[in-house]
Structure 1
Amino acid sequence: MAIIVTFDLPGAGQELYDAVIDRVTGGRGFSRFADLPNPGLVSHAAGPVDGGFRVTEVWESAEALETHAKTFGPVLAELGHADLRPTIIPAHNVVVR
């Protein structure tokens, strides 16, 4: 079952987001899902919010997200965000163009 995941990064900005993506992709950046080392990502959007930065994703399954977290978790910890806890809800409907 697909899931919707929201990561809120209070006090963070685009600099942290870019640093995480840069480390995970080996400096290649992230403009295509193929740039990420873990499959299962359906959609990804990120941007500034009051007091921080937000990332919202749709994953094919909770298992795909768990595999992904093994890659991103250590990087976030290195950058001082080890306590990041996403909001996860089941997806009722996902539309992809």
Structure 2
Amino acid sequence: MAIVAVFDVPGMTQAQYEQSAEKVAGRPGPVKTPADWPVAGLISHTAAPTPDGWLVVDVWESEEAFQEFGKTIVPILQELGVESPQPKIYPVFTVVTR
């Protein structure tokens, strides 16, 4: 079952987000497609600044795929000095894309 993972990361900066995206993709520049992720199963990724940090909303094909990605992103965030956020996980009811 598909899930949505919502990360609200107080204190995270745009620079930290951009560095984490480059480390996830394994190359300079922003992530552009789900193929940039080191594990399969990402459906969508959205990131935005908030008044006090950063918000990330991902949709994954399954919670297992998301957990596998966690093995990659948690060490990256720790390396960048970002406190590991506890995402809110919800079952997906509908996904609409272009």
State whether TM-score is above 0.5: yes
Structure 2 partner of 1:83: 84
Deviations 1:16-68 (A, max 9, x none): 11011111222243111111111100111101111111010110100000111
- Percent identity among equivalent residues? 43
Conserved? CA contact 2:24–2:36, under 8 Å: no
Q: Which amino acid aligns with 1:37?
A: P
* Worse overlay, 49-58 or 78-87: 78-87
| TM-score, L = length of structure 1 | 0.91
Contact 2:12–2:82, Cα closer than 8 Å, also in 1: no
Q: Please state how far the C-alpha of 1:96 moved relative to its aligned partner.
A: 2.0
Consecutive unaligned residues of structure 2, counting only runs of 5 or more, are: none
Matched pairs, number: 97
Q: Which consecutive residues of structure 1, in runs of 5 or more, have no partner in the other structure?
A: none
* Alignment correspondent of 1:17: 17
| TM-score, normalising length: structure 2 | 0.90
Question: Which residue does the alignment assign to 2:51?
Answer: 50
